Amino acid sequence: MLIALSLLVLMFALAVTSGYVLSAYAFYDELVVPRELSSRVVVVSGVSLAPFTSVVRVNAVSSAISDSPGVRDVVPEVLVPAVLNGTGVIVRGVDPNFLKRYVGYEVVEGRGMRGECLACAWVGSELARTLKLGAGDVVTIYSIFSKYPYILEVEGVLKLPEPYDHEVLVPYELGQLMRGVGRDYASVVLVVLREGADPREVLSKLAGARFGEAPELLERAFIALKYIGREVRAQVFKHAADILIERLGMPRSSLVATAISLALISSVGSYVIGLIPAVLSRDRLSVLHEQGLAKSRIKASILIFGGVAIILGYLAVRACLPALSDILGAPVLHHPVSLGSDPVLDVSIPAFVFLFYSTGVLAADAG
């Protein structure tokens, strides 16, 4: 019982630790891509070393795909990390027509979003609940890109899909001011595709490359534009975080390898668990050995028991992890962050635990 409990605690710690690493990786994806449109959007951004600092020329994107029949709309957005009431939030500059047409929202309090009011803000219902904000409140917002505060009136509280429901929304032009960029610049440009459109056509026009060998990009694609004088270079990624990691010279595989290495090092604790039977049950195992039971059979029984406990324990941990995300997932800028998972890690963690557990069992004197 002690062995099974020890293995369960160890795998729980490993699953949560790797979940935090992967959730940090996926956070920017969740922030940039509206869930309602995740399968029908190509995201265009600029190359930058840190999140939220990239900009992209909107007209350059629009011109490149102006004759593409698969494009339904081109929607720029501005993302601004800011401080409101002493807490960090995301302020998103967005076109109100885009929200109505593609995202949809319900007015909980006050009025719906309108673009002509540059002294107004709208708050997602989850953020409003957390910060206790309502229509008619006056808020002071400090953008990290601006020297001056913005004093805005909350015109309405809106019930929106993720990620907007955890943000402050302002008209697109006001978002540009808070971000400190010109009229032709945005943080990201969402290229909304028509139903049944082939994203590879859009990717080819924007990045000038063929994507027949990358079918995973049909589900989601991010294009990063880098401006070198008058030249524009483009790269295509599957995840937004890949843009930042690539800037550091690290592909996503390096991140997964790092997570696997952490799991490998942390699994060393299972070696000690493998020694438990020999330490705590030495007398009992000696009796079995004296009665004619071979040490090899004793160790084989302990290994089988541990292996079954590891498999069942890890399956139980993975099944419970989504529910535990609400408890263990720490919000970032008031956005909920769920614990992530990866198929490679789902195999690696129990394999590493069993490897070191087996080493401990085989190294112990079982009688």
Calculate helix-pair angle for 295-328, 343-363, nearest 10 degrees. 140
Q: CA-to-CA distance for 278 and 367, rounded, in angstroms?
A: 7
Residues 123 and 191 in one domain: yes
pLDDT given at position 1 = 62
> For all residues of the chain together, what is the average pLDDT?
77
Give the per-residue pLDDT at 211: 37
Residue 90 has a pLDDT of 93
Mean pLDDT of 97-115: 91
- Is the pLDDT at 14 greater than 80? The verdict is no
Residue 293 lies in a domain: yes
Mean pLDDT of 195-218: 58
- pTM more than 0.75: no
104: left (phi over 0), alpha (psi -120 to 50) or beta: left
Per DSSP (E only), the strands in 125-193 are 138-143, 150-159, 168-171, 185-186, 188-193
Residues 269 and 323 in one domain: yes
**Is position 185 within any domain?**
yes
- 71 versus 230: the higher-pLDDT residue is 71
Query: Is it the case that residue 212 has pLDDT exceeding 50?
Result: no
Q: Is the pLDDT of residue 233 over 70?
A: no
Among 55-59, 142-146, 275-279, whose mean pLDDT is lowest? 275-279
| Among candidate residues 128, 129, 131, 153, the one with its CA nearest the CA of residue 140 | 153
**Residue 232 half-sphere exposure, CB side, CA atoms within 13 Å?**
16
- Same domain for 77 and 192, yes or no, is yes
CA distance 67 to 70: 9
- Structural domain tally of the chain? 2
- Does residue 58 lie within any of the structural domains? yes
pLDDT at 157: 97
Q: Are residues 147 and 127 in the same domain?
A: yes
Are residues 313 and 348 located together in one domain of the fold? yes
> Which residues lie closer than 8 Å to 113 by C-beta, 6 or more apart?
96, 99, 105, 122, 155, 156, 158, 169, 171
What average pLDDT does this structure show over 264-277? 69
- For residue 246, name the pLDDT band (cuts at 50, 70, 90): low
Identify whether residues 73 and 116 lie together within a single domain: yes
> Which string of DSSP letters, residue by residue, matches 195-246?
TT--HHHHHHHHH----TT-GGGGT-EEEEEEEETTEEEEEEESSHHHHHHH
> Domain for residue 244, yes or no?
no
Q: Is residue 233 part of a domain?
A: no
Which residue in 132, 43, 123 sits closest to 89, CA to CA? 123
Q: 46 and 191: one domain?
A: yes
Mean pLDDT of 341-359: 80
Same domain for 21 and 70, yes or no, is no
pLDDT at 195 over 60: yes
Quick check: is 68 in a domain? yes
- For range 265-283, the mean pLDDT: 66
Q: What is the pLDDT of residue 217?
A: 38
Kindly list the distances between the CA atom of residue 58 and the CA atoms of 184, 241, 313, in Å, as whole numbers in the listed order.
6, 21, 50
User: Is 184 found in the same domain as 108?
Assistant: yes
CB 348: neighbour CB atoms within 10 A?
Answer: 20
Q: How confident is the model at residue 210, as a pLDDT? A: 41
Q: Which H/E stretch holds residue 160?
A: none
Assess contact for 321 and 339: CB atoms under 8 A.
yes
Q: Higher confidence at residue 96 or residue 236?
A: 96
- Pair type for strands 185-186 and 138-143: unpaired
- Judgement on whether residues 163 and 272 belong to the same structural domain of the protein: no
Name the pLDDT band for 81 (thresholds 50, 70, 90): very high
The better pLDDT of the pair 102, 125 is held by 125
What residue numbers bound the domain in which 306 lies?
2-25+252-363
230 burial class (0-12, 13-18, 19+ CB within 10 angstroms)?
A: exposed
* 165 inside domain: yes
Please check whether residues 18 and 41 belong to one and the same domain: no
Q: What is the pLDDT of residues 280-331, one digit of tens each?
A: 555 565 655 566 566 677 778 778 888 888 888 888 877 777 776 666 656 7
Residue of 256 and 89 predicted with greater confidence:
89
Same domain as 289, residue 146: no
160-191 pLDDT, tens digit per residue, is: 988 899 999 999 999 999 999 988 899 888 88
Helix axes 2-32, 343-363, angle to 10 degrees: 160
CA 219 to chain CA centroid, nearest Å? 16
φ and ψ at residue 19, rounded to 5 degrees:
-65, -40
Would you say the C-alpha torsion 127, 131, 135, 141 has a positive or negative sign? Answer: negative
Per the domain annotation, does 326 fall within a domain?
Answer: yes
